[in-house]
Structure 1
Amino acid sequence: MKNEFLAKSNGETIMEHTENLINNFKNFFTIYSEINVDKELLLLACIYHDLGKINKKFQSKLSGQKQNGELPHGLLSTSFIDSKSLSENGFDKSDIKVLSYSVALHHERDLSEISEEDFSSEIELMNIEADYFLKYLEKLQNIYFDYVNKNIEENLKYSIFKIENEKVKLKKLSKKYYKLNGRIYSQDFILSEKETFETFQKYVMLKGLLNKIDYAASSYIPVEEKNDFLEEKMDDFLKNVLKKDNPKNDWNELQKFMIRNQNENVVVVAQTGYGKTEAGLLWIGNNKGFFTLPLRVAINSIFSRVKNQIVIEKLENRIGLLHSDFREIYIEDIKKKEKNNLEKMDNDELFMYMDKTKQLSLPLTVCTIDQLFDFVFRAPGFELKVATLSYSKVVIDEIQMYSTDLLAYLIYGLKYITDFGGKFAIMTATLPGIITDLLKKEEIKFVTTEPFINDKKRHNLKVLKEVINAKFIKENYKDNKILVVCNTVKKSKQIYEDLKNLGIECKELNLLHSRFIKKDRAEKEKEISEFANPKRFKENVKKERELKNICENGIWIGTQVVEASLDLDFDILVTELSDLNGLFQRMGRCYRNREILDEKYNCYVFTEECSGIKSSKAVIDKEIHQKSKEALINIDGLLTEKEKLELIDKVYSTESLKDTEYYGKLVKNIYALKNYIVEYEKTKSEVQKIFRNIASRDIIPKIIYRENKKEIKKNIEILQKKAKGLNEKERKNLRSEKIEARREINQFKVAIPEYEFDDISPEQVEKIEINDYETLIILDCDYSYEKGFEVKIKNRDFFEDNTF
């Protein structure tokens, strides 16, 4: 066997790849020097992790001569660990065990079919190749001791490989250090609870950081970019933006509180418009941070705002966006720059930016919680996220909007990451008391303070013990902007049709819900945001609107999608009751920052026969709906921010909810995560389905497919192109084309509930196979820009009544 052993098909050698890891290891600790991980063990893991690739079958595979019976290289790498020498030189049994399992499982592979005999046999065969690799092993050993003696100890020298008489001696590790098909779990009946947790924590940190360093080296990206900019950029934002409007402007009390408590877990309540985004960034400071929100539209908006108004420069090294469509958003940004003749990234820069985002290497990431907190199910590979979060700060914005499932995952996840050293800040407009009680129950320490509210009079509320109706809406429509929010798509469409029948002109009437194709929904969100722009009262904006001839009166009818994702300011809100949290979110779209100057009502809530409550597919908890209704009975007139929070305390306290199904489910979910989930039992895809609660199917309406058939087929052809035979530049160009093609196709998709799709006649469904993993579903249904998706089945009412 020749002296050069390859690690990758691109020609990179094992030695080059290992040196890449070592450089990433060193760079990591120049940024995060105080991480709770054994640096010597981690450096050893970086050195050992890929040495098993010297085996003949792996090397043959890279040269295109694949052989049967190849064993995972991580497993074979364990044979390089000199456990005897390590044991004699300060490493205890748990250290070597953690090291061995981290190396063996750094790529999660199914080892269940591998026999002890095959394992031993492959190691024995590898001894032949190992002798050719001797000079590299000696070099790696010298690198190890150079680093250790310079940074950790002085003048240490012992063998980390089994080398005798210039011969490498590889053999299987003792079962006390590594057992084939074994795992290190958080529960071990042999060790004490304290010893078990310490060993498991050590393992999670070691394997997680090994994975992080290895993936970065394989992607040729920095393992971490340093946050040395955010505090300075926040100062610039204060001076150049806030003080530009008013020289007396300064950080408000919320923002100052967050600065003072940068080193603490924080739970704060602050009303809409109080600067929670700035407060969260000030709390993160020059640390690694994640900013999470419940809705993707809000995430995209925050990302856009922070990168354009605060971070501004060197974006690809500083801030990332992470959700399932983030690549498409990056491509869109590039296209916008191209359109405006601005300097744009080339493909190499774009893919590095994508890789840094995906590998959690950027200092600041705006993301959905499923991108982080899916680790609570501890599927194979979860260690990387936990290790990363152990030195990160996580902002949870608008926690009250999460379902009982997601809330349970969040609370358990916060307990998990704080145990590992991470920090969190919960910032919300309304905080259900059960959340703080559950945090305390889990012994999660945090600081809090009185809510940050002002005495602006924004909402004058009228509670109507009636069913929401179009007649009432028309009577209140007088050269103004009315927002109507219904609990379900069916109800919103019904109100829309009723208003049309009452003579409201179509140009003044608009509908927005989740059943529009992506392209149309984006357009509608743009329209409603422009129509109800909170800044429209400023003189310069007012003149712009006059020049554009923007209509200043109209009615928008929507569902939950308008609750917290869009920056809107309507004159009047008319809504049916969902629950108190939902109601106050909806009220936040009316008189967003304005003060009401007369005694007229500007918010009307209808409490009778509300949609989305009763059926088996109800979208709103029946008991909380009823408690919300009871809390509102005596409300009539001005409702201050303080009174809103008092109502929230009344409805969502543990005392109020302790006997409800809602609270029972929440507690049960947390208990299940703590006691019934066993590490590594679920696959990553299973966890994603559970966590994202995927119960919908993306379809393209047939009418949309026909109108755009040529474009869709062109993009399908791009997705079907093969990379085989292409050089590196051509591969990157094709990858870029495929991301753009997928983005273009997705513009024509709409998500419909799985239970509804299952009931649709097979004759209405046409499937177009893109590849082994992707299929386009074309559905024969009604669709229009005016009303969105509508099913062509007899029992339509049953299904539509339970969809936002």
Structure 2
Amino acid sequence: MMNGVFEMYYAKPIDGPEGSYEYHISRCVEIYHQEVERNSEAIKKILVDVGYDQNDFKLYSYLAVSLHDLGKLSENFQNQMKNKLFNKRLRSIKFRHEVLSTLYMALATQNYLRHNKDSFPFHYYTVLSHHKCLDINFSSFFRERNINEDWFLLKQNEYEYGINLSKELAKVETEFVMDISKYKINIESIFKLLESYVLESYLIKSNLSKSNIRMLYSLYKGLLQYCDWIASSDKEPMQQTLSQSELKDRIKQKVESEGKIFVERQFHEKCAMAAKDIVAIAPTGSGKTEASLLWALNWEKSKVIFLMPTMVTSNSIFSRLAKHYFEEEHCGLAHSGSDVYFAIDPDFNEKERLELLQYKVFIPPVMVSTIDQMLTSGFNTGHWCLKEYALVGSSIIIDEIHAYDTFTLALITETIKKIKKLQGHVMIMSATMPSFLLQHFTKLLGISSPIVAEELMSRKQNKWRFIDKKIGEIKGEIRSYIDKDKKVAVIVNNIETAKKLYEEFSSDYETLCLHSEFIMKDRIEKEKILEENNDYNIVISTQVMEVSLDISFNIMFSECAPIDSLVQRAGRCNRKGEYEDSEFIVFDYSEISEKYVYRDRSDILAKTKEVVRNNQRLLSEREIFQMVSEVYEGFNIYDENYKKGQQLYEEIVEEETIFDLNYDEERLQTRLIDNIKISIIPYAYKDIVEELFEKGEYAKIALYEVPVGIGRFNKYIRRNYCENPYKLPIYTIEYNSDMGIVYNDNTIEMI
């Protein structure tokens, strides 16, 4: 209803007022004003830092939101809606409404453009690209540029309707061209205009650097997309409003519900009082997650974002936050397997498709994600503007910082710089913080020293021991501990060794084998058994035991690995302090570990062996921390891989700036190429996955996939592809739930 005159134009194929153009735009504008108010301080500082006029941002961002669907008022789009709603057969053609929206917005606001010729028109590019990818050739709109008809252009009354609605909803002064009858409308003209602003000759003369143009574009576009996505759902914008005192009460309730005595730790209090960027060091079991939440709540109504190294750790943190600390609807999870997580978890499997899409772009006020999901935003791929908009004024927690190679550390470093420009707050955490990482991140964040859980640094959980023998020479000692009814784990550095050990021990003992080459369904079940009721005599595993699993062993044998990996493994030995005679026993690494698994870290591997050999006793957390520092003394983080990561982001800013990219898969890796995995489906599950495909239950297909290293895939699996009508990655490879993939080639090269 505008000015008492009813005009029914559709924005969505929904019969009734909620499908109307007026309803959608009014919702978008309402959400826009709420968002600008919520982020007002952060946005103001961003604009001041880059030297961009605040009034210009208020005006142009409002125009983008209020006019982004102007093209939907055309007869063509309205006919499409009526055809869908009422099964009509009105005349219509395929034509992107964003093109008309941008064209008529430029026409309506030409006076602003004339008075600010040198100002980059962010709002035009934002509206044009709010649904489709934008590249230098405007390829997404090739069809629209080559249509010779003009009947679908906006008529004067349609145009006036959209402009008047924008004027009516505005809280800023607007100046529009109202009469378009005297203009000859040419679709190509808007593309010619937009091409002129991205010429190198213009960008060189601009008072904004390419980096700042990219950042402002992501701010404009992310804000528009956020408003559009929320307005298109049936939900209101959400904010987390939990206070520190309320969180402390919920932490206390959780601890006491587990039958423990709640004691408020100094480490938690220090983090709660630190209303600034921090680096935190705390051993396993110190409550790092709770400490980070207390830190994050220093900023009222700030979005909280956890960035984790793996899907397993992400799932674990999400579950803890949603069940114990925040409203479930306020929490989101994003990683490549999150759809599967929600499809099978009985506590969360009612999630709707739109809700899951909102998770992928970091819309919920409390987000948990693998760090890769955020790092890829620097590649200008997917909904990168929405992801970067989520960083504005937010509290970002990066956990397990020790887990990344130098290439990824470079991407993380550049992302942190971006977070700071967007007025976000950063907390970096680790149980093992080598001095090179500590120096790098304290300097990056401009802080003098880390917050350390000093009250736990004297804690002594395990006696460390080194055996100068290979795994084949210590099986008798392993058996002796099992025979004494000790809860034993053996961790080795490669999958084939784990399988062979399983075959040897399973004939005499209740044995569980856990590694990465199980279908997801089996791995989930194994991890659940371990956490809820581990009655096995011995558990044989690989590096997968290093992360997230809340399990505890009396005796742990570990093949020697880089010291930070050993510390993570040791965190699963006497984890809860329930054993008085626990031992963490390190044995010598194999040739496979040295030549293949850790070939790029062989010097660290050798130094770890030496340091562990020299520290065989009941160790305190402080002594373990010192061992980590000793191993990494002199380590150069700024190697060639670091430079590659840094240069990759710089090249994208320099060469592409605001444009979306379609790089090949290899270049888009956020981890070094050696870590690439290929998902396959063993032939045994062919009928099951084909049935799931036919039912449309696509997310559940991933339950039967196995991630395989690219080297093993190329050498042993690729040639065994099984043709199927759905092009699923099914391969005729032997598999069983006890050992995983079974390779029958005895000459297998263990990569």
Q: What TM-score, normalized to structure 2? A: 0.84
For residues 114 and 66 of structure 1, the distance between their equivalents in structure 2, rounded to whole angstroms, comes to: 23
1:265-664 residue pairs with structure 2 within 5 A?
265-285=277-297, 286-311=301-326, 314-316=327-329, 318-333=330-345, 335=346, 350-351=352-353, 353-379=355-381, 381-439=383-441, 448-450=450-452, 452=454, 453-469=456-472, 470-477=475-482, 478-500=484-506, 505-507=508-510, 509-532=511-534, 551=535, 554-594=537-577, 597=580, 602-609=583-590, 611-615=592-596, 618=598, 621-653=601-633, 656-658=634-636, 663-664=639-640
- Residue 240 of structure 1 aligns to a residue in which SS? helix
Q: How many Å apart are 1:457 and its aligned residue?
A: 1.6
Contact persistence 1:120–1:172 (CA under 8 A): no
For residues 541 and 196 of structure 2, the distance between their equivalents in structure 1, rounded to whole angstroms, comes to: 53
2:128 corresponds, among 89, 99, 104, to 104
Letter in 1 for 2:165: K
Contact persistence 2:375–2:412 (CA under 8 A): yes
CA deviation vs aligned residue, 1:555-579 (integer Å, no higher than 9, x gap): 1110011112201111111111110
Moved more, 558-567 or 365-374: 365-374
- Residue 592 of structure 2 aligns to a residue in which SS? coil
CA deviation vs aligned residue, 1:320-361 (integer Å, no higher than 9, x gap): 22223323333434x458xxxxxx95xxx7345434433422
Change (3 A) 1:60 1:181: farther
Change (3 A) 1:440 1:266: closer
Letter in 2 for 1:432: P
1:140 corresponds, among 166, 184, 193, to 166
1:791 corresponds, among 740, 743, 751, to 743
For residues 192 and 463 of structure 2, the distance between their equivalents in structure 1, rounded to whole angstroms, comes to: 69
Contact persistence 2:520–2:705 (CA under 8 A): yes
For residues 247 and 557 of structure 1, the distance between their equivalents in structure 2, rounded to whole angstroms, comes to: 30
Letter in 2 for 1:272: T
Q: How many Å apart are 1:128 and its aligned residue?
A: 5.2
Change (3 A) 1:187 1:632: farther
Q: How many Å apart are 1:260 and its aligned residue?
A: 0.9
Change (3 A) 1:484 1:245: closer
Q: How many Å apart are 1:583 and its aligned residue?
A: 0.6
Contact persistence 2:335–2:360 (CA under 8 A): no
Q: How many Å apart are 1:374 and its aligned residue?
A: 1.2
1:669 and 2:613 aligned: no
- Residue 768 of structure 1 aligns to a residue in which SS? coil
For residues 329 and 494 of structure 1, the distance between their equivalents in structure 2, rounded to whole angstroms, comes to: 31
Q: How many Å apart are 1:54 and its aligned residue?
A: 3.8
For residues 790 and 510 of structure 1, the distance between their equivalents in structure 2, rounded to whole angstroms, comes to: 16
Q: How many Å apart are 1:55 and its aligned residue?
A: 4.4
2:238 corresponds, among 208, 225, 228, to 225
Tell me the residue number matched to 2:250. Answer: 237
CA deviation vs aligned residue, 1:99-158 (integer Å, no higher than 9, x gap): 2222232232454469999869979766652443323422321221xx23xxxxxxx4x5
Change (3 A) 1:778 1:744: same
- Residue 621 of structure 1 aligns to a residue in which SS? helix
Give the aligned CA root-mean-square deviation in angstroms: 3.7
For residues 641 and 368 of structure 2, the distance between their equivalents in structure 1, rounded to whole angstroms, comes to: 29
Q: How many Å apart are 1:794 and its aligned residue?
A: 5.7
1:36 and 2:40 aligned: no
Contact persistence 2:556–2:585 (CA under 8 A): yes
- Residue 396 of structure 2 aligns to a residue in which SS? strand
Change (3 A) 1:31 1:763: closer
Q: How many Å apart are 1:24 and its aligned residue?
A: 1.9
CA deviation vs aligned residue, 1:461-519 (integer Å, no higher than 9, x gap): 1112221232332233321011100000011122233435xxx6242x22111111222
Contact persistence 1:127–1:168 (CA under 8 A): no
- Residue 769 of structure 1 aligns to a residue in which SS? coil
2:27 corresponds, among 20, 31, 47, to 20
Q: How many Å apart are 1:59 and its aligned residue?
A: 4.8
Tell me the residue number matched to 2:50. Answer: none
- Residue 704 of structure 2 aligns to a residue in which SS? coil
Change (3 A) 1:396 1:454: same
Tell me the residue number matched to 1:727. Answer: none
For residues 185 and 396 of structure 1, the distance between their equivalents in structure 2, rounded to whole angstroms, comes to: 37
1:47 and 2:102 aligned: no
- Residue 461 of structure 1 aligns to a residue in which SS? strand
Letter in 2 for 1:86: Y
Contact persistence 2:219–2:389 (CA under 8 A): yes
Contact persistence 1:577–1:610 (CA under 8 A): no
Q: Structure 2: 5+ residue runs without aligned partners?
A: 1-5, 45-56, 84-88
For residues 638 and 190 of structure 1, the distance between their equivalents in structure 2, rounded to whole angstroms, comes to: 65
2:711 corresponds, among 755, 769, 785, to 755
Q: How many Å apart are 1:695 and its aligned residue?
A: 3.0
Q: How many percent of aligned residue pairs carry the same amino acid? A: 24
1:53-202 residue pairs with structure 2 within 5 A?
53-55=72-74, 57-59=76-78, 62=81, 63=83, 70=95, 73-74=98-99, 76-81=101-106, 82-86=108-112, 92-93=116-117, 97-107=121-131, 108-109=133-134, 111-112=137-138, 129-144=155-170, 147-148=171-172, 156=173, 158-160=174-176, 162-164=177-179, 178-180=193-195, 183=198, 188-192=203-207, 197-202=211-216
Contact persistence 2:271–2:291 (CA under 8 A): yes
Letter in 2 for 1:357: Y
Change (3 A) 1:465 1:182: farther
Letter in 1 for 2:63: L
Tell me the residue number matched to 1:715. Answer: 692
Change (3 A) 1:169 1:235: farther
For residues 247 and 181 of structure 2, the distance between their equivalents in structure 1, rounded to whole angstroms, comes to: 59
For residues 503 and 155 of structure 2, the distance between their equivalents in structure 1, rounded to whole angstroms, comes to: 77
Tell me the residue number matched to 1:252. Answer: 265
- Residue 639 of structure 1 aligns to a residue in which SS? strand
Moved more, 66-75 or 287-296: 66-75
1:746 corresponds, among 695, 702, 713, to 702
- The total of aligned residue pairs comes to 710
Letter in 2 for 1:554: N
CA deviation vs aligned residue, 1:444-472 (integer Å, no higher than 9, x gap): 66862345433222121111222123233
Q: How many Å apart are 1:587 and its aligned residue?
A: 0.7
Change (3 A) 1:133 1:168: farther
- Residue 723 of structure 2 aligns to a residue in which SS? strand
